Amino acid sequence: MGSSTPQYRVDVDGFPIDVDPHEEILAAMDKAIRERSPGHYISITNTESLYHARRLASHGKFIRGSDYSLCDGVGVIAAAKAAGDSISRYNGPILQLDASEYGATRGWRHFYLGGRDGSAEEMGRRLGEQFPGLIVCGIYEPPFRPLTAEERSAMIRQIRESEADIVWVGLGLIKQEAMIADIKDEAGVPWMVGVGASFDYHSGRVPWAPLILRKLGLEWLFRLIVQPKLRAKRYWWSGVWMLGAMVRGTAGRVSGGGKRRG
């Protein structure tokens, strides 16, 4: 677990999911920012992430070491329910919107690491119009290849010089989590968050599911229709994990495990 202490942490298939009220999470973020306490990070944990976490030790360590591990996806909710727990979603795009609004009156400084072909800049422009006072203190769109040592050093230097409070990382699973784990101690910022498709949604590059579909838990279906080639394989992995987790959760519940702590 990270330095912050979630009040309501649920075990889902051996990994933490935190269901603290949104305002308490934002308040914890604000506290670390005001104290300039570095090295905190949030894991946006969905079914695909948990599929990889069971197979890749470094990714599982990333989720378990997070200050907050937030639920993204109805599959995680279903797995928790099978184990006897009730959780709700708080995904990357929504967290970023909330943090942009909450931080606009508090002087939070946002750095965008990721995107392509100007999507990070366009995201900043749109969010700035939506939330007057939003401070975008830096943007870095890395190449689609491993960074050289010189590029890595230059990127970290740019982040440090920006005096960012939050670095939003939009590189996609599981690349963005590996990036956070690699640089969080050197970057010296209070918070880093991997937000995946947020850069596409908030820049308008990819359509975001209508609100009614999101509320009904059908965002996955909309994504599959809009990006079938990208999503089909990833949803296969997600389905494999979800079905297995539901079986394991049901078995654990029958034997007396899987209850909420906090």
The mean pLDDT value of the chain amounts to: 90
Asked if the bond preceding 174 is cis, omega within 30° of 0, the reply is yes
CA distances from 15 to 48, 110, 230, 255 (A): 13, 28, 26, 18
CB 108 within 8 A of CB 131: no
CB 50 within 8 A of CB 12: yes
Check residue 3 and give its pLDDT.
54
Query: 40-46 and 191-194 as β-strands: parallel, antiparallel, unpaired?
Result: parallel
CB 4 within 8 A of CB 65: no
CB 43 within 8 A of CB 49: yes
Check residue 123 and give its pLDDT.
97
> Which residue in 125, 126, 128, 110 sits closest to 195, CA to CA?
110
Beta bridge partners of 114: 170
- In angstroms, the CA 173 to CA 196 distance is 7
Long-range pairs for 243-250: beta carbons < 8 A, 24 or more residues apart:
244/13, 245/12, 245/13, 245/50, 245/79, 245/82, 246/78, 246/79, 246/82, 247/82, 248/13, 248/83, 249/12, 249/13, 249/79, 249/80, 249/81, 249/82, 249/83, 249/84, 250/82, 250/83
Check residue 256 and give its pLDDT.
66
Check residue 6 and give its pLDDT.
73
Distance of CA 64 to the CA centre of its chain: 13
Check residue 110 and give its pLDDT.
98
What stretch of H or E contains 93? helix 92-104
Distance of CA 102 to the CA centre of its chain: 17
DSSP state of 242: H
Check residue 163 and give its pLDDT.
98
Positions of the chain with pLDDT under 50? 1, 258, 260-262
Which structure tokens are listed for 120?
Answer: 């990070």
Check residue 258 and give its pLDDT.
46
